[in-house]
């Protein structure tokens, strides 16, 4: 990631040395193969449009290319001139959105968020429907003074397959005797889908709402199983805390601590396991070791690293709102990651992101590869027995 603070698109675009290092690591470019799909190509066009005021270059094709990005930030890490390309892409998307020229997929997403405060067409008051399968659903209703608030996120709240993550996290916290709650129907989308599609001001409204709800409940620890939710809470929502002390952890960090403190005891599991680093948790969030510590703490497990891991991890294809505009491209990116998983000979591939899990599962169903895909929380629950 860049060590320099992002300035403006115009300033950053003039820094680009056109070395092409970004092109070598970009998952979109690896699939599409056109220069206009590479970070360098997009930046060159953005420079002409905004730094040189050549508005004729703002074509429908460019807008589509702009949206063909998972915001994985592999390009930022590879950049020889230290440009924060992830931040630049979000700036670019905001400018295009302000001009009323965003892709149709973004507009449908915005409509859902405006109407329902989540990314789906479901009523937000139904956010706890997944909790009907826990022993005491009422314990998850928003409650003052709890030790921890579990911020569930839109995907785990409303998508049945992903709700297994929320159920697993809840059961793990219950087994560890953690006094926890959720925001229930008062939880709004974290705001990341808005940030990633060019609606930064609206995203701040969502962030502020969630922060104010936490303050009102007097809770000082928030955990999130979604890396994008975690990233927003950790890096974007802080401006609304105004001195309020709030610890923010991804569930992998929090549960790793519970295991270290002997509040959870993992049983034996005979399996060869590999781990896929989610982009927003790893490269963009700096959380690499806790998931590995958890996996390696399970007796009987043989842990195998993927060829590209940690900062060099390959994207699953599901980030940056890419699925809303180009689902085929997203799936093609997943297929590249699947080849590395195949090469490990692992029985189980684990991630710590519900989106990564969904993308990998879909690709494995399509290819028939004999490997289980699990979220880290599901693996932990299985090891707890």
- What pTM was computed for the model? 0.95
Q: Are residues 231 and 118 in the same domain?
A: yes
Answer yes or no: is 214 within a domain. yes
Answer yes or no: is 4 within a domain. no
Answer yes or no: is 251 within a domain. yes
Q: Are residues 273 and 370 in the same domain?
A: yes
Answer yes or no: is 2 within a domain. no
Dihedral sign for Cα 136, 249, 120, 202, please: positive
Task: Please report, for residues 7, 107, 110, 273, the alpha-carbon distance to residue 194 in angstroms, rounded to integers and kept in the order given.
Answer: 21, 10, 7, 34
**148 bridge partner residues:** 180
Instruction: Give the CA radius of gyration of the chain.
Output: 21
Q: For position 148, which CATH number holds?
A: 3.40.50.1860
By CB atoms closer than 10 A (0-12, 13-18, 19+), residue 355 is buried
372, two tokens: 């289980």
Q: Are residues 144 and 225 in the same domain?
A: yes
Answer yes or no: is 3 within a domain. no
Of the three residues 237, 257, 277, the one that is the final residue of a domain is 257
Q: Are residues 25 and 81 in the same domain?
A: yes
**pLDDT tens, per residue, the chain with 385 residues:** 666 789 999 999 889 999 999 999 999 999 999 999 999 999 999 999 998 888 888 999 999 999 999 999 999 999 999 999 999 999 999 999 999 999 999 999 999 999 999 999 999 999 999 998 888 878 899 999 999 999 999 999 999 989 999 999 999 999 999 999 999 999 999 999 999 999 999 999 999 999 999 999 999 999 999 999 999 999 999 999 999 999 999 999 999 999 999 999 999 999 999 999 999 999 999 999 999 999 999 999 999 999 999 999 999 999 999 999 999 999 999 999 999 999 999 999 999 999 999 999 999 999 999 999 999 999 999 999 7
Answer yes or no: is 73 within a domain. yes
Domain membership of residue 277 as a residue range: 265-384
Q: Residue with structure tokens 């998983």?
A: 341
Answer yes or no: is 26 within a domain. yes
Chain centroid, CA 279 distance in Å:
7
Cβ count near 130 (within 10 Å): 23
Answer yes or no: is 1 within a domain. no
CB 206 within 8 A of CB 189: yes
6, two tokens: 């992002």
Q: Are residues 237 and 152 in the same domain?
A: yes
Q: How far apart are CA 77 and CA 345, in angstroms?
A: 29
Q: Are residues 247 and 363 in the same domain?
A: no
Q: For position 75, which CATH number holds?
A: 1.10.1060.10
**222 bridge partner residues:** 149, 248
Q: How far apart are CA 235 and CA 285, in angstroms?
A: 9
Cβ count near 376 (within 10 Å): 27
pLDDT recorded at residue 1: 60
Q: Among 382, 376, 372, which residue's Cα sits nearest to residue 349?
A: 372
Helices (H), the chain: 9-15, 21-25, 27-32, 39-46, 60-67, 74-78, 85-98, 104-116, 154-158, 163-175, 192-195, 200-217, 227-231, 251-260, 289-296, 322-325, 327-344, 354-367, 376-384
Cβ count near 365 (within 10 Å): 10
Q: Are residues 90 and 33 in the same domain?
A: yes
Q: Are residues 214 and 193 in the same domain?
A: yes
pLDDT recorded at residue 39: 96
Q: Are residues 250 and 274 in the same domain?
A: no
Q: Are residues 237 and 329 in the same domain?
A: no
Q: Residue with structure tokens 């889908």?
A: 193
pLDDT recorded at residue 4: 75
Q: Report residue 14: phi and psi, to 5°.
A: -75, -15
The 3-state DSSP class for residue 273 equals strand
By CB atoms closer than 10 A (0-12, 13-18, 19+), residue 103 is buried
Q: Are residues 194 and 298 in the same domain?
A: no
pLDDT recorded at residue 100: 93
Of the three residues 257, 288, 309, the one that is the final residue of a domain is 257
CB 85 within 8 A of CB 43: yes
Q: How far apart are CA 17 and CA 7, in angstroms?
A: 17
Of the three residues 224, 257, 290, the one that is the final residue of a domain is 257
Domain count, the chain: 3
Q: Are residues 18 and 87 in the same domain?
A: yes
Q: Report residue 180: phi and psi, to 5°.
A: -130, 160
Chain centroid, CA 361 distance in Å:
16
């Amino acid at each position: 990631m860049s060590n320099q603070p992002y300035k403006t698109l115009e300033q950053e675009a003039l820094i680009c040395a056109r070395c092409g290092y970004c092109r070598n690591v970009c998952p979109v470019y690896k699939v599409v193969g056109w220069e206009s799909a590479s970070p360098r190509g997009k930046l060159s066009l953005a420079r002409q449009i905004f730094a040189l005021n050549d508005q004729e270059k703002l074509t429908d094709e460019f807008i589509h290319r702009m949206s063909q990005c998972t915001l994985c930030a592999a390009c930022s890490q590879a950049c020889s001139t230290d440009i924060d390309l992830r931040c630049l892409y979000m700036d670019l998307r905001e400018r295009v959105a302000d001009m009323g020229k965003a892709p149709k997929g973004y507009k449908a997403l915005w409509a859902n968020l405006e109407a329902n405060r989540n990314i789906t067409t479901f009523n937000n008051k139904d956010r706890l429907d997944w909790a009907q399968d826990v022993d005491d659903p009422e314990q998850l209703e928003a409650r003052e003074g709890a030790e921890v608030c579990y911020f569930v996120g839109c995907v785990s709240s409303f998508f049945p397959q992903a709700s297994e993550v929320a159920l697993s996290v809840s059961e793990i916290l219950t087994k560890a005797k953690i006094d926890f709650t959720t925001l229930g129907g008062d939880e709004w989308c974290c705001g990341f889908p808005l940030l990633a599609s060019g609606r930064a001001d609206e995203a701040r409204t969502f962030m502020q709402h969630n922060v104010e709800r936490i303050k009102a409940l007097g809770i000082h620890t928030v955990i999130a199983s979604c890396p994008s939710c975690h990233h927003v809470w950790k890096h974007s929502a802080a401006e609304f805390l105004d001195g309020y002390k709030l610890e923010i952890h991804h569930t992998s960090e929090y549960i790793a601590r519970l295991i270290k403190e002997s509040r959870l005891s993992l049983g034996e599991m005979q399996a060869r396991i590999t781990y896929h680093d989610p982009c927003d948790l790893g490269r963009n969030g700096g959380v690499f070791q806790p998931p590995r510590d958890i996996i390696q703490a399970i007796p009987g497990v043989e842990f195998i690293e993927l060829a590209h891991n940690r900062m060099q991890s390959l994207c699953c294809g599901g980030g940056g709102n890419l699925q809303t505009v180009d689902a085929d491209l997203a799936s093609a990116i997943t297929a590249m990651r699947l080849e590395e998983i195949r090469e490990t000979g692992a029985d189980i591939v684990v991630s710590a992101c519900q989106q990564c899990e969904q993308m990998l599962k879909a690709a494995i169903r399509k290819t028939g590869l004999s490997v289980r895909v699990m979220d880290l929380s599901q693996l932990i629950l299985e090891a707890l027995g």
